Structure 1
Amino acid sequence: MTRYILSRIGQALLVLWAAFTLSFLLLQAMPGDAVLIKFLNPDYGLSPEQIQAIREAYAVDGTLLTQYLKTLANFLKGDFGYSIQAGVPVSAQLAVNLPPTLMLAALGFAAAVGLAVLIAALSSLAPFAWLRNLVQSIPSLFVSVPVFWLGIMLIQIFSFRLKLVSVINPGPWESLVLPVATLSVPIAAPLAQILIRSIDEIRTRPFIAVAVAKGATQRRILWRHVAGNAILPALTIAGVLFGELIAGAVVTETVFGLNGIGVLTEKAVGNQDLSVLQAVVVISAAAFVTINLLVDLLYPILDPRLRTPSGATA
């Protein structure tokens, strides 16, 4: 088991390093110069010598290798550099903008899981065949809905027409209702599809026939015998969907005007603020890798078949 854990942690660190390196190279290849975008403005009245001194202070004039090694060393120490546009440490900006995104992502993921489980349960327990078929078609509809369009429609219906949720000066929790709903729908769709297919496949196995022969009800069979086995494939796709969750959160924040990573990224792209963009990419990759690492470590716990008799993972 220890060897398995160390192997997965090593792979996670390798993925993080690759994400950092690739993002660094791509960002450096972007046209434009953040220092010139901000300080070449005539209103500042800076001479070419002063602008060059600013470039040296931000360490953007060294060779590509020098900048890479320095940035990597700073990231390993938790130093994300300075935002050229804001003139403050990137970590200070993240401290303000990251918590709203994490809150939105966590609530959105929880809502997506709940919605997916509800759809999968109804597709098995609904009393009529036409109703079960209707419920099974819902994920296909959900997965085809663009996030930005869904957010706009929810605002139009629940805020402007029904006036159930305010989007103008809402309370701290009220402001999350529609964004969470917007974010959870497209994430719930593939989860529900995997759960439905897993449930249908597991229902054909011999031990289900034995349970039926013993007189177990459909509800007992679903929750006691099917659910535990059906959750493993869904657990895998849940880890993969976390990357889509982060991307969806950025779009959702833009639609609803939330002060999260989405707003920070939008401003950084417009201003070519590479330090901010590099930090956002690495943090997003770290969140994605962490979730998938936890999924990998949960597998041997949830499925004893993945453990050898000695207790080590095969």
Structure 2
Amino acid sequence: MTRPELLRRLGQAVLVLLITYTLAFILLSALPSDGVMARYASPDLALSAAEIERIRDAYGADDPLVLQYLGALGGFVTGNYGYSVQTGTPVSTLIREALPGTVALSVSAFLLALVLAVFIAVLATTRTFGWLGDLIRSLPALMVSLPTFWLGIVLIQILSFQLGLVPLIGATPAQALLLPTLTLAVPISAPLAQVLIRSIDEVHRQPFIQAVRARGAGEAWILGRNVLRNALLPALTMAGLLFGELVGGAVVTEAVYGRAGIGQLTVQAVANRDTPVLLAVVVIAATLYVLINLLVDLLYPVLDPRLRRKARA
């Protein structure tokens, strides 16, 4: 990728993040009530109107929306996300404490989804399996239709309660990660497997595959050295998009399993109308999404020599 192209992509990424932040700020500001009133106007706290007004002033809740927007935007640029309305804790601290759990879940689920997708695609496109291959081809359509929360509950019921394979109480960190990873990986692997199956079928029809087969190469050699290498390129973009969606899937998965992470933090922020936390979660999720897809764009010329030759031409 040339330097002007890279600068253009970086500019697009910054623009996407700015638009995302602006839309999230407008939507959260349009809520009929705000988190400050929901938290401090409770009769249980017995705060006077003057005390509530001072708290609102400290949070800038009564400032004009333009000033709130610019102030929050400047804070995001410098890494200052403000303070949680519910706990008074800096939002950056909450994010820093919650992020490792979500990253561990997302990365493990993504790697498992890749393995599942490649395994399904290879079985579905291997001619020796016959009718079984046709049956395996229908698996991704079934997997993608499974609701995450339902799949999580079913896995808990079967693997934990019925079979006792994975304990829910007193589990090790690895055991506690197993079921959430499987819950998140199954629906994510489905669209990736569908893309891989179509790509493998297309590569199998290419003339150079027939030439390699005519030279006496075995099917396993052709699959590993020729077919998969070319079929993975179209799936790379899908993989980047799916990894960006993992944060959204983690919200439901962490809620089902009670895991500490960005998902659980988001659920609590929604329940308490904690606008600073919600805004930070949206922007961080969008940032990860943009960075992953930018990385995918940068990897394309590395994996496809044709793009490198085009860039040098």
2:16 is aligned to 15
Aligned 8 A contact 2:28 2:275 in 1: yes
CA separation in 1, counterparts of 2:153 and 2:46? 44
C-alpha displacement of 1:296: 0.6
- Greater shift, 244-253 or 276-285, is seen at 244-253
Deviation of the 1:310 alpha carbon: 6.2
Q: Does 1:70 align with 2:32?
A: no
Q: Is the counterpart of residue 199 in structure 1 residue 196 in structure 2?
A: no
Alignment deviations for residues 193-226 of structure 1 (CA, whole Å, 9 cap, x no partner): 1001000011111101101111111111111111
Output the CA distance in 1 between the equivalents of 2:195 and 2:232: 9
**SS of residue matched to 2:168:** coil
> Offset of 1:49 from its aligned partner?
1.3
Question: Which residue of 1 is the match for residue 157 of structure 2?
Answer: 156
What does residue range 23-34 of structure 1 map to in structure 2 within 5 Å?
Answer: 23-34=24-35
Which structure 1 segments of 5+ residues have no match?
Answer: none
Deviation at 1:126, TM superposition (A): 6.0
> Using the alignment, how far apart are the partners of 1:69 and 1:231 within structure 2?
43
Identity %: 54
Cα distance, 1:250 vs. partner?
Answer: 0.8
Q: Structure 2 CA distance, aligned partners of 1:233 and 1:144?
A: 22
Amino acid at match of 1:283: I
Q: Deviations over 1:79-98 (max 9, x none)?
A: 00000111110011111111
1:1-314 equivalences under 5 Å are 1-125=2-126, 127-308=128-309, 311=312
Report the RMSD for the aligned CA atoms in angstroms. 1.2
Query: Residues of 2 paired with 1:307 and 1:126: CA distance?
Result: 34
Q: How many angstroms apart in 2 are the aligned matches of 1:62 and 1:190?
A: 46
CA distance 1:309–1:278, change in 2 (3 Å): closer
Deviations 1:92-126 (A, max 9, x none): 11111111011100000000001101111112336
Q: 1:150 to 1:45 in 2, by over 3 A?
A: same
- Is the CA contact 1:105–1:249 (under 8 Å) kept in the aligned structure 2? yes
TM-score w.r.t. the length of structure 2 is 0.97
Contact 2:203–2:227 (8 Å) recurs in 1: yes
SS at match of 1:82: coil
* Matched position secondary structure for 2:173: coil
Q: Name the aligned partner's letter for residue 171 of structure 2.
A: P
1:50-85 CA distance string (max 9 Å, x none): 111110101111111000000000000000000011
Alignment check: 8 A CA contact 2:34 2:275 kept: no
User: Which is worse superposed, 121-130 or 75-84?
Assistant: 121-130
Deviating 4+ runs (over 6 angstroms): none
Partners in 2 of 1:141 and 1:41 — Cα distance? 47
- Cα deviation, residue 231, structure 1: 0.7
Contact 1:125 1:219 in 2 (8 A): no
Alpha-carbon distance in 2 for matches of 1:135, 1:159: 27
Shift of 1:309: 5.5
- C-alpha displacement of 1:45: 2.4
Counterpart code for 2:181: V
Counterparts of 1:115 and 1:205 in 2: how far apart (Å)? 25
Post-superposition shift, 1:236? Answer: 0.7
Distance in 1 between residues matched to 2:88 and 2:246, nearest whole Å: 30
TM-score by length of 1: 0.96
Letter in 1 for 2:169: I
Cα distance, 1:306 vs structure 2 = 1.9
**5+ residue gaps in structure 2?**
none
Letter in 1 for 2:203: I
- The Cα of 1:165 is off from its aligned counterpart by 0.3
- The number of aligned residues is 312
| Greater mean deviation of Cα atoms: 139-148 or 181-190 | 139-148
* Whole-angstrom CA distance in 2 between matches of 1:228 and 1:4: 26
Name the SS for the 2:138 alignment partner.
helix
